[in-house]
Amino acid sequence: MIFDVIEKSLGQPNRLIPVDGLLGDCDGSRMPDILADRLTAAIAQTVVDICPTTALRIEDYEGRRCVRLSYGQCIGCGKCIEFGGGAVVTAKQFTRCGVAKERTVRRWDIDSRTEITASTLPPDAARMQIHSLLQRALNIRQVDAGSCNGCEAEITALTNPYYDLERFGIHFVASPKHADMLLVTGPVTRNMADAVKSAYEAVPGPKLVVAVGACGCSAGIFAGGYAIIGAVDEVIPVDGYIPGCPPTPAMLVTGILEVLRRRVAK
């Protein structure tokens, strides 16, 4: 009976993870991190050669030879960690969620064994406008532009009792016309391109778009396929990127809040 179900449910302990336990948590995503002091030219070449999606590359940056790690392309396969000779480890914290595309890329100078830190970027107008208008309320319309459904499974998990996205005043809505933010997953396929554009146009301004997952950020492992257009930003403008294959619910929470600048720098 219906009351037995409710009674049974009430007997369960609270599972809610406090927000501080979510922000920056990337357990289960196998995002790599590079220990600069252990980096050698040989290790750099090895990990670049085995990376299946060119997330790792060697490039010249401002006249320095560096390893470039593009998190937006990383599918978390862990090969660089396996063969990186201790210089590549599983990241314990990952905060590059919901950030601008430039910030999903890190570079390490191979010769001086240091990370090259980029200058910080100014917050953009739409994000600040939405934040000032809505404060703690946000409606999200999720759009699958061709994903494998791994990202959908994790986005669905955001509403479970561990993450409970609604506690932040954030809701998933059925229509783009009710939405402030589009959360777009997957490489955009040829067959979905028009629908993605229509959904974007139906969202009233000011609006935000977040590209989710390696495929949303960069087409991921599907890059170059005949039936896909590519990353989400090849079809509609994107305000923030959440890497991962798939990003864990904690990374999604971190990313969505980051895009909103909920925690505006004091």
Partner 1 sequence: MNENTQAALPHDGRNPSGARPVVPRTNEGAPARLVTIFGSLGPNREKRVHYIFDRGVPEYGEIVHSTDGALESITPEVPAAAWYERELHDQYGIEIVGHPDLRPLIFHDNWLDEVYPMIDPVDDVPWSNREYRFLQVQGEGVAEVAVGPIHAGIIEPGHFRFSVVGDTILHLELRHFYTHKGTEKLFEGRAMEDGAMLAESVSGDNCFAHAVCYSQAVEAACAIDVPPRALGVRRIGLELERLACHISDIGGLCTDVGFGVPAAYAARLKESLLRAASQCCGTRYWRGIAIPGGLRFDLDSGKVAALTQVVARAHRDFSDIARLILQTPSIQDRFETAGILRQKAARDLAIVGPVARASGIDLDVRRDHAYGGYGQLEIPVTHYGDVMARARIRIAEAKVSAQLIQEEGKSLSEGSVFTPFVSQDGVQGFSAIESPRGELCYWIEARGGLLTRCHVKSPSFQNWPAMPFAATGNIIADFPMINKSFSLSYSGCDR
Single out the residue of 179, 174, 148 nearest to residue 256, CA to CA: 179
Q: Compare residues 112 and 149 and give the one whose CB is closer to partner 1.
A: 149
Q: Residues 194, 197, 203, 209: is their CA dihedral positive or negative?
A: positive
Q: Tell me which of 187, 216, 243, 255 binds partner 1, using CB under 8 A.
A: 187
Name which position in 2, 125, 264, 265 contacts partner 1 (CB under 8 A): 2
> By CB under 8 A, what part of segment 204-233 binds partner 1?
215, 220-222, 224-228
Among 114, 159, 171, 261, binds partner 1 (CB under 8 A): 159
121 forms part of the interface with partner 1 (CB under 8 A): no
Interaction pattern, residues 77-116, with partner 1; x per rule: CB under 8 A? xx---x-------x--------------------------
Nearer to partner 1, 61 or 172 (CB): 172
Confirm if 103 and 92 have CB atoms less than 8 A apart. no
DSSP annotation of 99: B
For position 136 contacting partner 1 by CB under 8 A, the verdict is no
The 10 Å CB-count burial string (b at 16+, else e) for 95-120 is: bbbbbbbebbbbbbbbeeeebbeeee
Q: What is the dihedral of CA 160, 162, 167, 169, to 10 degrees?
A: -50
d(CA 174, CA 109): 47
As a whole number of angstroms, the distance between CA 76 and CA 242 comes to 13
Q: What is the distance between the alpha carbons of residues 200 and 92, in angstroms, rounded to a whole number?
A: 35
Residue 56 near partner 1 by CB under 8 A:
no
Tell me if 12 contacts partner 1 by CB under 8 A: yes
Closest to partner 1 by CB, 158 vs 259, is: 158
Q: Which residues bind partner 1 (CB under 8 A)?
A: 1-2, 4-6, 8-9, 12, 15, 27-30, 52, 75-78, 82, 90, 142-157, 159-162, 172, 174-175, 186-187, 189-195, 199, 215, 220-222, 224-228, 245-246, 248
